[in-house]
Structure 1
Amino acid sequence: MTILEQMLEGTGSVAILGHIRPDGDCLGSALGLYNYLRLNYPAVRAAVYLEEASCKFGYLQGFDKIRHQADEEVYGLCVCLDCGDLGRLGGFAGILESAGKSLCLDHHVTNTRFADTNLVEDGASSTCEVLYGQLDSRKIDRTVAECLYTGIIHDTGVFKYSSTSARTMEIAGKLMDKGIDFGSIIDNSFYKKTYIQNQILGRALLESITFFDGRCIFSAIRQNEMDFYGVDSKDMDGIIDQLRLTEGVEVAIFLYQSGAQEFKVSMRSQNHVDVSRIAAFFGGGGHVRAAGCTMSGSIHDVINNLSQHIARQLDI
C-alpha cells in the first residue's frame, strides 16, 4: 500500500492544491489525482483548487471543475502537488491549514517539507511521475493517463531535459498504452502558440542580450510591453526555453514585470550552474537546471544581482 493509499483510508473528503501560476505538471498531477479519485474512490468528495491556467489545457478532464477561489469547506485530507513551500500555495494555504491531515507530493530539491507527510523525489522528472508511483496502474484510465502524460512532457520539455530517465520513459509508455492521443497532447499543449504569443516571443528574442562572453543570455518584458501586446504571464510560457537553446549559452534568464519594481525570474542552465541555489538565495526555488524567484528593483538591479551568483559558479 502506497503512502497516498494509506492516507486515503477512512478519508471522506480530499482537497487538491498546487502552486501559484499552475503549469503543465501542476495541472496534470492535480487533475490526474482528481480523476483517479472520482474513478476509484467514488464515495470520496474531491475538489481541485488552483489559480486560473492557460486554456490550452482545457482538454484535460475536470479542467472546468477547478475552483479558482478559496472557500470555507473543510477537508479530511489536503494533497499538495508540485509545490515546494507553503507560500507557493497562494490564497489556498488556509485549506491545507484547516484540513485534518496533509500530504505533499513533489520533486523540487528546494521543497521545505511543509505538510504533515511529505514524499519528495527530487530525482523524478515531474510530480506526475511521483504521483504515478502512488497510484495503482491497473486503475488508471485514459483521462488520468492524459493528465499524467501532460505533466511529464511539460516538465521534461518533451523528454529532452536532463531530468528524463529510463523510468520516465517507461511510465510514459505505459500511459500511451491507455489509448491517449499523445501526438495531439504534445502539439496542442506544448508547441502550439497563438499569434500574440509568437509576437511576444519574437520581441523577447529580438531584445535579448548576452553577457559573460556569450555564456549567459537574458531578456525582459516590461508591463507596458505586456499591455501593448495584450498578454499575461500565461502567454510567455516557453520563452525561457527558447533562450536556453542559444548556441554557447550556459545560463538563460527571462524576466517579466509583475509589479512596480518587481519581476518574476525564470532561469535555465545547461550543464554547470545550479540555478536552484541562486533562486533559493532570493526566496525562490526549483531544480538544479530550472528554477525561479521574484526579485525587486530595476532590470539592471536584478541582472546584476543574479550575475554575481552565476559568476561564482562559472569561476569568472
Structure 2
Amino acid sequence: MKGKKFTGIFIQKAGFYLFVILLLLTIIAFLEIKVAAPGFVFFLFLLYYHFRYNYKRKKEITQYIENLTFNIDVATKDALLNFPMPLVLIELDGTIIWYNSSFKKIFEGEELLEKAIQTFTKDLNPESFSNETMNFSDEIKIHDRNYCVLGNFIKVDKRINEDEIILLLYFIDNTELVNLKKTYDDEKTVVGVFIIDNYDDLMQSTEDTKRPQMVVEIETKINNWTAYANGIVKKYERDKYLFIFENKYLKTFQEKKFDILDSVKEINVGNTIPVTLSIGIGKGEGSLLDKFRHANAALDIALGRGGDQVVIKDGEEISFYGGKTREIEKRTRVKARVIAFALRELIDQASEVIIMGHKNCDIDCLGSALGIYSIATKRGKEANIVLNKSNPNIECMISKIESSKEYEGLFISTGDALEKINKKTLLVIVDTHKPSFTEAPDLIKYTEQIVVIDHHRRGVDYLQNAVLTYQETYASSTCELVTEILQYVEEKIKLAPIEAEALYAGIVVDTKNFTFKTGVRTFEAAAFLRRQGVDTVAVKQMFQNDLDTYTHISNAVKDAQMYSENIAISVCPPDIKNATVIAAQAADQLVNLKGIQAAFVLCNIDEGISISGRSLGDINVQIIMEKLGGGGHLTFAGAQLQGVSTEEAIEKLKKAIDEYREETPDNSKKE
C-alpha cells in the first residue's frame, strides 16, 4: 500500500514540473543570483501560461457538459412524452402530477391532472406503497384492457428542507396474455363421475314394470343437465356415468349449486326411496387419467359423507356442494358380512391387534373398541386399546373395566403402543377416519395393516392407506357397525356383560335414547345386545347426572341467545367439571325447544374452546362445524378451536353460520 502511494508521486503533472523548476532556480540563485534571474523571468511566464491554460480548459469542459446535459434533458423529455408505454407520475397519496401521451389515450376525454389515480383504477391502491416495498398489482383492468404495473420511487429537489418523493408508474398492456391464459384455463378438460346412490334399494322399492322407466327418467335428467356443457356423457356401469367437459362450464354449475341434485329428487314413478346422485369431479393440471383418478377420489369422499352431494377435487383443494339431506339407511347386510369376513382374515394374519379411537374418547368410541377387542381375543390374538387418559364421558365405564381382572392391562399409553407395534401389527381405528384426530397419530406410520371403522361423514383429510375401510354414514354409531360385524365373525358369539353394555351404551348415547339417526338396523343391533344380557337399567344409571351437572345444563339453556332467527348459541360457565358433557347435553335440550332448529353450546377446554352442535335435521350442523375444522353428522357435530377466547370463538361460529346460510338459502325448508 505504501509502495503505491510512493509511485504516485511520479505521475506526470505540470504542477509537479513547475515545483521542480522553482526548486532548481532557488538552488542556482543561492550559488549565483545573476545566472538565476533570467530563469525566474521564464518561470513566471510558465506559471502564467499554466494557469491560463487550465482556466480555458476548464471553461471548455464546463460548456461541453452543459451542452451534453441539455441534449440529454431534451432527449429524455422527448422520450418520456412520446414513450409508447403509458407513464404517470403520482404523489404518494395517488395524486397525478404528470403523464405522457400514451397514458392520456387510455383515459381519452377525461381530466386527469391533480386527481387521484385510484378514482380511475380501483385495483391500484397507492396507500400500500412504501419506500421499502412496492406492491404493484399485475391485474389492473382499465376499459376492458389488462395492465401489469411496475414502478419506482424518485427523489426530487428539496422543498422546505425535505426531499420530496414521487412515484413513476409504468403500465404494460398484457391483455393478450390474460386472454390467452383465460382461454387456456377455460379449455382445460374436466372429468366428472356420477353414481346413483343406493341403486339396488331404489330398484327394489320400484315395481318391476316401472324400473326401466325409472332408469330412463334418471338418464334423461342427467343428459338434459349435461347438454349445456357440450360434453361427453357415457354410461359405463349400471349406476355410473362418465362426464367429460370443458372447465369454462364448471363455474355455471357451481353458481347453480349443481341443481341436478334437486332435479333427480323430483323423479317419482312409484319409488318409495327418493333418487339421489353423488358426483365426483376432477380438475387441475395433469393428464386425463390423473383427472379421472381425482374424480374417483372425490366420488369416494362424497359417498363417505352420505351421498347426495358433489365433491370437486382440484389437486389438493377440495370443495363440497349439497349434502343437506339425511342419509338413507341400507337395509341389506351384505356389506357388513363381507367386512366381517375380511376383518377376521386380517386378525388371523396379524401378530397382535392394537385398537385406538379419537382424542377425548366418548362412549361410542370406547364401546366399539371393546367390541373389536372381543373379536380379536376370541380369535386368539393379543389386543390392546390405546388410551392415554380418561375423561368424564367414559369415566363410569372405565371404572367398571378396571375393576375387572379379566381386562387387566387392556389399556396402554401411546409410548407403550409405539414399543409394541410392528409391520405385522393390525391397527384398528374406530369412530374416526382422520389421522390427526386419533389418540396416537404416530402409530399410523409404523404399520401398513390398518382398518378403519367409522360412521361419520368423510372429511378432506381422511386416512387413504387403510387396507379395509368400513364407513357407513347412515349408521347411528360405530357401536352399531361393530355389533353387526360381531354377528358374522363367529356363528355363536358370546359377549362379556361389560362388552355388551359398552356397545349398547354407545348406541343409546349417539341416538339420544333411540331418537336421532335410528333405523331398523339400529334396533336389530340393540336387540342382539339385549339377547347378550345387557341390563338396560344399568346402562341408563351409568349416564345419570348429579344435581350440580343438571344445574349447569339448565343455566346453559337459560343463558342461550338466538341468532339468525332459529339458531341458539350458548356458553357453559367457566371452570366447571365435565364441561364437554354439559355442553353436549345442553345443546340436546335446546333443540327440543319450540322454534329452535339448531343449537351450539361452547365450553372451555385445556386446548381452547369446544363447540357442540345439534339440530333436528333442517340445518346441517356438520357443514357448519367443518368450516371450523370439525365434523360430525347432519344432526350432531362438534369442533375445537385452539388458542382463541370465547368471544372470538362465537364470532367465528357466527361467520360460519352466515356462510352456511348464503350457500344454502333454502335450508329452513325441510327436504
Equivalent position amino acid for 1:89 in 2? T
Q: Does the 8 Å contact 2:627/2:656 carry over to 1?
A: no
1: distance between equivalents of 2:429 and 2:396? 23
Pairing of 1:49-198 with structure 2 (within 5 A): 49-50=386-387, 51-54=389-392, 55-57=395-397, 58-60=399-401, 62=407, 65-71=410-416, 72-75=419-422, 76-90=425-439, 92-111=440-459, 112-116=462-466, 117-135=468-486, 136=489, 138-143=492-497, 144-161=499-516, 163-189=517-543, 192-198=544-550
Pairing of 1:230-245 with structure 2 (within 5 A): 230-234=577-581, 236-245=583-592
Equivalent position amino acid for 1:16 in 2? I
Q: Deviations over 1:136-163 (max 9, x none)?
A: 36213243322211111111111100x1
Q: Deviations over 1:137-195 (max 9, x none)?
A: 6213243322211111111111100x110111011111101111012202323xx0123
Q: Does the 8 Å contact 2:568/2:600 carry over to 1?
A: yes
Quote how far apart the aligned CAs of 1:246 are. Answer: 1.6
The alignment partner of 2:420 has SS state of coil
Q: Does the 8 Å contact 1:272/1:314 carry over to 2?
A: no
Quote how far apart the aligned CAs of 1:291 are. Answer: 1.1
Quote how far apart the aligned CAs of 1:63 are. Answer: 9.1
Q: Does the 8 Å contact 1:5/1:134 carry over to 2?
A: no
Quote the residue 1:20 is aligned against.
359
4+ long deviations beyond 6 Å: none
Compared with structure 1, are the counterparts of its residues 45 and 127 closer, same or farther at alpha carbon in structure 2 (3 Å cutoff)?
same
Matched, 1:258 2:605: yes
How many residues get paired? 304
Q: Does the 8 Å contact 1:49/1:70 carry over to 2?
A: no
Equivalent position amino acid for 2:374 in 1? N
Matched, 1:308 2:658: yes
Identity of aligned pairs, percent? 24
Compared with structure 1, are the counterparts of its residues 159 and 231 closer, same or farther at alpha carbon in structure 2 (3 Å cutoff)?
closer
Pairing of 1:224-303 with structure 2 (within 5 A): 225-227=573-575, 229-234=576-581, 236-258=583-605, 262-295=608-641, 296=644, 298-303=648-653
Equivalent position amino acid for 1:59 in 2? K
Quote the residue 1:47 is aligned against.
384
Q: Does the 8 Å contact 2:364/2:477 carry over to 1?
A: yes
Q: Deviations over 1:226-279 (max 9, x none)?
A: 32x44543554422211221211111101112358x421111111221222222
2: distance between equivalents of 1:185 and 1:294? 28
Quote how far apart the aligned CAs of 1:28 are. Answer: 0.5
2: distance between equivalents of 1:6 and 1:169? 28
Quote how far apart the aligned CAs of 1:108 are. Answer: 0.7
Q: TM-score, normalised by structure 2?
A: 0.43
Equivalent position amino acid for 1:139 in 2? I
Larger Rg: 2
2: distance between equivalents of 1:269 and 1:70? 39
2: distance between equivalents of 1:63 and 1:270? 41
Q: CA RMSD in A?
A: 2.4
2: distance between equivalents of 1:186 and 1:256? 25
Quote how far apart the aligned CAs of 1:287 are. Answer: 0.9
Compared with structure 1, are the counterparts of its residues 173 and 230 closer, same or farther at alpha carbon in structure 2 (3 Å cutoff)?
closer
Compared with structure 1, are the counterparts of its residues 114 and 240 closer, same or farther at alpha carbon in structure 2 (3 Å cutoff)?
farther
2: distance between equivalents of 1:236 and 1:211? 18
Equivalent position amino acid for 2:470 in 1? L
Compared with structure 1, are the counterparts of its residues 74 and 195 closer, same or farther at alpha carbon in structure 2 (3 Å cutoff)?
same
The alignment partner of 1:9 has SS state of helix
Q: Deviations over 1:92-113 (max 9, x none)?
A: 1112321341100011112524
Q: Does the 8 Å contact 2:354/2:427 carry over to 1?
A: yes
Equivalent position amino acid for 2:421 in 1? V
Compared with structure 1, are the counterparts of its residues 110 and 271 closer, same or farther at alpha carbon in structure 2 (3 Å cutoff)?
same
2: distance between equivalents of 1:146 and 1:115? 32
Matched, 1:2 2:341: yes
Compared with structure 1, are the counterparts of its residues 167 and 4 closer, same or farther at alpha carbon in structure 2 (3 Å cutoff)?
same
Q: Does the 8 Å contact 1:110/1:287 carry over to 2?
A: no
Quote how far apart the aligned CAs of 1:199 are. Answer: 2.8
Compared with structure 1, are the counterparts of its residues 231 and 146 closer, same or farther at alpha carbon in structure 2 (3 Å cutoff)?
closer
Q: Does the 8 Å contact 1:29/1:131 carry over to 2?
A: yes
Quote how far apart the aligned CAs of 1:314 are. Answer: 5.0
2: distance between equivalents of 1:80 and 1:177? 27
1: distance between equivalents of 2:593 and 2:549? 19
Equivalent position amino acid for 1:56 in 2? C
Quote how far apart the aligned CAs of 1:216 are. Answer: 0.9
Match of 1:36 among 328, 351, 375: 375
The alignment partner of 1:139 has SS state of coil
